[in-house]
Structure formats: C-alpha cells, structure tokens
C-alpha cells in the first residue's frame, strides 16, 4: 500500500507538520480515487535541514559508491515499473500500454544513461598550472510536472545523485503516486538518509518555500512558463541557480519535397501522444500554402481514425486530459480558434462521441491558421493541431521562429541534408529530423521562454555541478 499521508524526510516516512489533504481525481471518470497529504513551509524547513546535513558526507562519496546506488535503484525500479505505469494511467489518463512502456520505461533509460555517464566522467581537468574541479552544487529543490511525471523525476534525481548532491522533490499534486513509489525504491536501494527527501504539496506553498529557501542552492523546475517566471523571481533573492524546462509551441515544417502522408501522420502521432500533453508537442504544422487543402484532407483522415476513450479499454489511442481545469482551457481555445476565423477541419468543442463523463477532448484539426491567431501563439496542451501555410522555405523558418518559445522543432523533407540545413535556422533546443527521436544521452532543454539549462546525459549531470579552479597547484606546461 502506497503511503499517501506522509512525506519521506531524512530516510523515514513522517507526518506533515500540519495535516492538510487534497483529493486525487481520475480524469477517466472525474471520480475521486483517494487523498494525499499536502506540505507546508515547515515541512520544507525540516527537509532542508536533513539534506544540508547529509550533503557533508554524501558530497564526498566516491564515483563507485554512487554508481552502486544508482545500479541498485535501476534493478529495483524494474521490479516496480508496471506498478508505476498503472498509477500514471490512473492519475493522468494515459492509455495503459503507453503508460507502462513509454512513461514508466523512460525512467529506466535515464537511470541507465546516468550510470554510463558517471562511469567515464572526468571531474577534474588541468588548464596550464590550474586544476579545474567539478563538484556537487549542494542542496537541490526539484519541482516536477504531471504530464511525464516519472520521466521528469528520474532525469533530475539520477544525475543529482551521480553528482553527489542532496535534494528535496515536490512532485505534481495531480500525479503523486509514482513519486511515492520512487521514494520507496530509493530507500530500498540504500540511498543514505537525508540525501533524497519528498514533500507533496502545492506550488504556492511548497514550491514557493523551496524557491525562496536560503539553504537550497539550486532549483530544477519543469512546468509552465508562467510558473517558471514565479520560481525565478523568488529564487533571485538568494542568487541560487535555476534550471528550467518550460512551455513550448513547437513548429513542424514539412517542405514541398517531402512525403506528405508520412510526414503528417508522424506529426499527428507525436502531437496526439499523451493527449497532446507534451511540452515539445508539434502543435503548429507549417506547410506550403499551395498544399493546404491536400494537407488538411490528409490530417482529417488520420485524426478521424483516432479512438478516444477509457485508458484501460482495448484499442484506444488517446485517453482524457489530466483534469477539469485543463479540459476547460482546451475547450475555450478551440472555440477561440473558430471565433478568430481558422477553418475547423475535424473535432471541435465538447466531449467525443461515446463519452459522457471524464475529461476527454475531440482530436481537433484547424487549417488556414495564421501565426497571429491565439491557437498559433498559446500553448494549448491538448490534441489540437494548427495548420499554417508558408510561401516558401524562408517563410516557413520565419513562421517557426515567430514565437516566444523555443523548446523544440521538427523538419520533414525529401532530403535529410536539406532538413538538417533548415533545422540549423530554427531557434529551439531540440530539432527532430525526418520523424526521428532524441537519444536519452543527448541534451534536452529550451531557448527563449522555454527555459534554460539542459537535462539528460552528460549535460544533465553538469547542471548539478559547480566549477572550482585550484590555481598554481601544478607546474605550468612549457611546450
């Protein structure tokens, strides 16, 4: 039985300083499943004391000791991955197979990659007569989202452990169970007490207290740009490092020499995965203006083939979105697209056919969208695609970059070399070419209002390291 009424602090499950709870609602039926405890500043203070005390010893552990801990975590995690997938399906509405394979499976990839990185990483280098040392930054506050919950927990916790940091995690209050199971896994794996701490809570309470805390050295935040701005403002008073992965409005450029059936099918599959609730989802499809009618017809045929329903039902491609507030926001933006003159190709407001409760959204395609329309500017975070026409390749790049976001981009062409050349012009942290996927060892993060810092692989490890110069410690090179 997962412990939902206590927090994991200093190696033990403890009661909140003040008992306050919130219900967890399954989006599949809008029914309450259970309650969890919510933390406060007093709980954060307690966790920070534990993490600060543990840092003195954990920061001095050897590479081999930290690798052993991570290997233990990996092996124990594999025995509980199905349980984690089940909880994610229940709490965010992801189809069960997707939750078990992609959602839960992502953490295995991040921990395994971190072990490989740590095995060969050089924490020291010589520059003339100076030895440059990379050492753990200190106590890290981590705030993770609900849309890919265990993925974001693993890609923060694993490299922080590898670096020798201690940490306090505040997972999303909409998807808390996978984090609680992860705490149990770390405890069983032998993570020393105080190194990892978990407090469930709300952003304005626990998240704000962590951001402002003078004894937290770094905040690693994944969430909306609006919330990221608040975190950065609060953190500024203590000059702590802030690493953020925020929102996106990613362009998907299809050039005139591409296979349109293949390109559009890949775009929609990527967007509709997780019910459109991915920060790097390709929600703006940019195509040659002359191909608008053809593209719209292809997109309609593909979207109309998607089955929406209960995440545990057979043959379902897409489940609900996470909660009522998210559903209402998506409905309002779909209506805004209609009101502003975009052509509704398929989908639209309201529940999909065959559903009468839960937070399900109709797979929706708009054509003849201009990049000034609200549905082309705002992150919808749902299965809504805006098709935008471009005069030529240069115009497609201009439209792609005409956004405050810069998390990801996509390019599809008949030539990989041409796609790569266009990708170099897009101002975003990750560009997916020809329907490819990102390796777990490659960096992930954004430009502009999509954040700063990088996660995954070596870049993720280095996010948790500080750099120190030991000047004059060796004889300079005389070559």
Which residues have a catalytic role annotated?
245, 279
Q: Which two tokens stand for residue 287?
A: 């195509």
Q: Are 174 and 92 in contact (CB under 8 A)?
A: yes
Strand partners, 143: 170, 221
Question: Among candidates 449, 69, 390, 1, which has minimal Cα distance to 228?
Answer: 449
Q: Are 438 and 408 in contact (CB under 8 A)?
A: no
Neighbours of 57 (CB within 10 A): 13
Residue with tokens 């690493």: 243
Give Cβ neighbours of residue 42 (< 8 Å, ≥ 6 apart): 17, 18
DSSP 8-state symbol, 203: I
Buried b (16+ CB within 10 A) or exposed e, 147-178: bbbbbbbbbbbbbbbbbbbbbbbbbbbbbbbb
Q: Which two tokens stand for residue 101?
A: 């394979």
Give the helix, strand, coil percentages of the chain, each rounded to 5: 40, 20, 35
Strand partners, 423: none
SS3 143: strand
DSSP letter for each residue of 40-83 = -HHHHHHHHHHHHHHHHHHTT--HHHHHHHHHHHHHHHHHHHHH
């Amino acid at each position: 039985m997962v412990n939902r009424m206590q927090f994991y602090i200093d190696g033990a499950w403890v009661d909140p300083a003040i008992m306050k709870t919130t219900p967890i609602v399954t989006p599949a039926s809008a029914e309450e499943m259970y309650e969890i405890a919510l933390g406060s500043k007093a709980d954060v203070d307690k966790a920070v004391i534990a993490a600060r005390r543990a840092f003195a010893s954990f920061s001095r552990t050897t590479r081999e000791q930290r690798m052993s801990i991570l290997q233990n975590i990996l092996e124990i995690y594999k025995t509980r991955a199905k349980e984690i997938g089940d909880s994610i399906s229940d709490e965010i509405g992801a189809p069960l197979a997707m939750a078990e394979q992609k959602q839960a499976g992502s953490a295995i990839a991040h921990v395994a990659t971190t072990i490989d990185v740590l095995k060969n990483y050089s924490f020291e280098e010589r520059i003339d007569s100076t030895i440059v040392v990379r050492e753990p930054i200190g106590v890290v506050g981590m705030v993770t989202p609900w849309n890919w919950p265990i993925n974001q927990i693993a890609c923060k916790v694993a490299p922080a452990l590898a670096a020798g940091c201690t940490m306090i995690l505040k997972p999303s209050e909409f998807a808390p169970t996978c984090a609680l199971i992860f705490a149990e896994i770390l405890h069983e794996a032998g993570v020393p007490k105080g190194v990892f701490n978990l407090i469930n809570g709300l952003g304005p309470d626990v998240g704000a207290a962590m951001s402002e805390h003078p004894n937290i050295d770094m905040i690693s935040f994944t969430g909306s740009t609006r919330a990221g701005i608040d975190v950065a403002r609060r953190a500024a008073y203590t000059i702590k490092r802030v690493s953020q992965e925020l929102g996106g409005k990613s362009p998907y450029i299809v050039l005139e020499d591409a296979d349109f059936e293949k390109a559009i099918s890949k775009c929609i599959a990527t967007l509709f995965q997780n019910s459109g609730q991915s920060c790097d989802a390709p929600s703006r499809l940019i195509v040659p203006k002359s191909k608008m009618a053809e593209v719209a017809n292809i997109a309609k045929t593909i979207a109309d083939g998607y089955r929406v329903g209960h995440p545990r039902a057979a043959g379902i491609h897409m489940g609900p979105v996470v909660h009522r507030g998210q559903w209402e926001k998506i409905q309002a933006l779909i209506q805004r697209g209609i009101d502003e003159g975009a052509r509704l190709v398929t989908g639209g407001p309201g529940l999909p056919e065959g559903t009468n409760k839960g937070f399900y959204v109709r797979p929706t395609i708009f054509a003849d969208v201009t990049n000034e329309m609200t549905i082309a500017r705002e992150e919808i975070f749902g299965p809504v695609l805006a098709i935008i026409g471009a005069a030529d390749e240069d115009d497609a790049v201009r439209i792609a970059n005409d956004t405050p976001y810069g998390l990801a981009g996509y390019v599809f062409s008949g030539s990989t070399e041409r796609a790569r050349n266009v990708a170099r012009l897009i101002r975003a942290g990750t560009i997916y070419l020809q329907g490819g996927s990102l390796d777990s060892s490659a960096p992930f993060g954004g430009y502009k209002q999509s954040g700063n810092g990088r996660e995954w692989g070596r870049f993720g490890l280095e996010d948790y390291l500080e750099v120190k110069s030991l000047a004059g410690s060796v004889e300079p090179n005389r070559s």
